[in-house]
Structure 1
Amino acid sequence: MEMSLQSMQLQLQFFMHKADDLHSCLVNGQGHVERDALAAAVVSFLYTCQPYFNHLESTVRSTRPQHTSLALNIYTQLLDIYQQLCDKLEQLVLSCASYNLLCLEETEPNSVSHFCVGQCQLGQLKLTTFLYCKPTPYLSQVDTRLYKRMRWNVEKLQVGQKTDKDQGGESKEREAKTEYYFLCYEDIPNTHAETDWGRPGFSDGNVVRMWSIGQWVQVDPDPITETIDDWILCDVPQANYNKLLFLGIEEPSCCIATDYMQQLLLLWKSADSW
Structure 2
Amino acid sequence: MADVEVQLTSNSASAQHEVLQEEDMTKEESLCTASPQNAGQGEESLSLLADVALAPPCGGHVTCSSDCEACSCLELRHMEESLQSLQLQLQFLMSKADDLHDCLVNEQDHLESEALAAAVPSFLYTCQPFFNHLEAATRNFISQYTPLPLDIYMRLLDLSQQLCDRLEQLVLTYASYSLLCLDETEPNNLSHFCIGQTQLGRLRLTVFLYCKPTPYLARVDTGLHKRMRWNVERVRDDEQQQQQQTDEEQGRGSGEGEADTEYYFLCCEDILNTDAEAVEDSQGVSDCDMMRMWSIGQWVQVNPDPSTEDIDDWITCEVPQATYHRLLFLGSNEPSACSATDYLLQQLLSHCTTD
TM above 0.5, yes or no, is yes
- 1:58 equivalent to 2:142? Answer no
* Residue 156 of structure 1, aligned match among 203, 216, 234: 234
1:216-231 equivalences in 2 (<5 Å) = 216-231=299-314
For residue 225 of structure 2, what is the aligned residue in structure 1? Answer: 147
* Residue 132 of structure 1, aligned match among 210, 222, 232: 210
For residue 329 of structure 2, what is the aligned residue in structure 1? Answer: 246
For 1:171 and 1:234, the matched residues in 2 are separated by: 32
For 2:238 and 2:157, the matched residues in 1 are separated by: 37
For 2:221 and 2:177, the matched residues in 1 are separated by: 28
Distance 1:172 1:223, change over 3 A: closer
Aligned-residue CA RMSD (Å): 2.1
For residue 110 of structure 1, what is the aligned residue in structure 2? Answer: 188
For 2:159 and 2:238, the matched residues in 1 are separated by: 40
TM, length-normalised to structure 1? 0.88
- 1:234 equivalent to 2:320? Answer no
For residue 42 of structure 1, what is the aligned residue in structure 2? Answer: 120
SS at structure 1 position matched to 2:217: coil
For residue 260 of structure 1, what is the aligned residue in structure 2? Answer: 343
Displacement of 1:196: 4.3
Displacement of 1:64: 5.5
TM, length-normalised to structure 2? 0.69
SS at structure 2 position matched to 1:14: helix
Q: Report the count of equivalent residues.
A: 258
SS at structure 1 position matched to 2:127: helix
SS at structure 1 position matched to 2:232: strand
- 1:180 equivalent to 2:263? Answer yes
Q: With a CA cutoff of 8 Å and minimum separation of 6, indicate the structure with the bigger relative contact order.
A: 2
For 1:171 and 1:230, the matched residues in 2 are separated by: 29
- 1:24 equivalent to 2:107? Answer no
Structure having the higher strand fraction is 1
Structure 2: segments with no counterpart, 5+ residues: 1-78, 246-257
SS at structure 2 position matched to 1:111: coil
Structure 1: segments with no counterpart, 5+ residues: 163-169
Q: Which range moves more in the overlay, 25-34 or 117-126?
A: 25-34
* Residue 91 of structure 1, aligned match among 150, 156, 169: 169
For 1:260 and 1:171, the matched residues in 2 are separated by: 33
Structure having the higher helix fraction is 2
8 A contact 1:186–1:211 mirrored in 2: yes
For 1:160 and 1:10, the matched residues in 2 are separated by: 40
Distance 1:192 1:226, change over 3 A: farther
The superposition leaves residues 40-71 of structure 1 with CA deviations (integer Å, 9 ceiling, x where unpaired) of 11110001101111111111112469xxxx92
For 1:221 and 1:64, the matched residues in 2 are separated by: 36
For residue 167 of structure 1, what is the aligned residue in structure 2? Answer: none
8 A contact 1:183–1:214 mirrored in 2: yes
Displacement of 1:202: 4.3
8 A contact 2:142–2:342 mirrored in 1: no
